[in-house]
Amino acid sequence: MELNPRLRVIAGCVTDVKTMADIGTDHGYLPVALIEKGKLVSAIACDVNEKPLEKAKKIIEDYGFDSSIETRLGSGLSVLKPEEAEAIVIAGMGGLLIRDLLEAEPEVAAAAKKLVLQPMNNQAVVRRYLETNGFKIIHEDLAREGDRIYEIIVAQKGVMIVEDHLDYELGYRATQTKHPLLEAHINRKIRFEEKILDHTRGKTTAIARKQFTESQAYIKRLNEVKKCL
Ligand SMILES: C[S@@+](CC[C@H](N)C(=O)[O-])C[C@H]1O[C@@H](n2cnc3c(N)ncnc32)[C@H](O)[C@@H]1O
């Protein structure tokens, strides 16, 4: 199975484990690809919606992996017992939902050897949640598909001290590890902030003026970081 660049990077983070649960599996491509490559002994493909789970079941059957990939219907980590899956992947969902799913089943999340998280937005919220709930980020990765850059966060139980505010936004220790896509990632953040500047420039409300000043300062900081890459 050929994965798209985002799922390929996520798959590359599922290492040193024999079992994985894919929460919100949708098509089931990730567990199928990992089993096919011999990277896992077994996997659990989970989804809260019946339709995607049926789709995943069909693909799993087509590949002849029904004895190594189980499917489960239900929300988030509620379908798992602690330690049932060494790695837990939650990808392609909003950061707020990912945080809520981890928060709803703290014992299951804490028992995993690895959490592989790929929030589509609110990545900083996920990093803050991990920091304040006894997790440490052990790896960060980026994937590019066309104009988009996806952030992949790998965490496990432990202590993490975030010293630089930018670590929440760009990725934990991103300015030290200097991923090849970091400059493009920063440029996207700058473009996003520039849009906020365009929307708030010349506005007289206190909120708009505060937002304008904050975005200006953030862009300045991002440009400084870029100079050091
Ligand atoms: C955009 S797809 C992402 C699919 C795949 N994980 C990926 O990254 O390509 C989101 C999937 O998450 C499922 N989902 C949404 N909320 C969920 C929840 N609370 N628990 C489990 N699955 C959920 C949806 O049904 C959908 O199949």
Structural domain contains residue 154:
yes
How many angstroms does the Cα of residue 95 sit away from the middle of ligand 1? Answer: 12
Examine the domain organization and report whether 26 and 115 are in the same domain. Answer: yes
Looking at residue 55, its pLDDT comes to: 97
How many angstroms does the Cα of residue 11 sit away from the middle of ligand 1? Answer: 16
Identify the domain boundary among 130, 161, 192.
Answer: 161
Examine the domain organization and report whether 191 and 96 are in the same domain. Answer: no
75 lines ligand 1 (CB under 6 A): yes
**Reduced 3-state DSSP string for the chain:** CCCCHHHHHHHHHCCCCCEEEEECCCCCHHHHHHHHCCCCCEEEEEECCHHHHHHHHHHHHHCCCCCCEEEEECCHHHHCCCCCCCEEEEEEECHHHHHHHHHHCHHHHHHCCEEEEEECCCHHHHHHHHHHCCEEEEEEEEEEECCEEEEEEEEEECCCCCCCCHHHHHCCCHHHHCCCCHHHHHHHHHHHHHHHHHHHCCCCCHHHHHHHHHHHHHHHHHHHHHHCC
96 lines ligand 1 (CB under 6 A): no
Examine the domain organization and report whether 211 and 112 are in the same domain. Answer: no
82 lines ligand 1 (CB under 6 A): no
pLDDT averaged over every residue in the chain: 97
Structural domain contains residue 172:
no
Looking at residue 201, its pLDDT comes to: 95
Instruction: Write the CATH number for 157.
Output: 3.40.50.150
Q: What residue numbers bound the domain in which 72 lies?
A: 5-161
Looking at residue 86, its pLDDT comes to: 98
Examine the domain organization and report whether 109 and 44 are in the same domain. Answer: yes
Looking at residue 62, its pLDDT comes to: 98
- Quick one: which atom of ligand 1 is closest to the CA of 92? 8
How many angstroms does the Cα of residue 26 sit away from the middle of ligand 1? Answer: 6
Structural domain contains residue 166:
no
Examine the domain organization and report whether 35 and 143 are in the same domain. Answer: yes
Looking at residue 37, its pLDDT comes to: 97
Structural domain contains residue 173:
no
Looking at residue 180, its pLDDT comes to: 97
Number of folded domains in the chain? Answer: 2
Structural domain contains residue 131:
yes
Examine the domain organization and report whether 118 and 193 are in the same domain. Answer: no
The parts of the chain modelled with pLDDT lower than 50 are none
Examine the domain organization and report whether 85 and 120 are in the same domain. Answer: yes
Looking at residue 48, its pLDDT comes to: 98
Looking at residue 111, its pLDDT comes to: 97
Looking at residue 168, its pLDDT comes to: 97
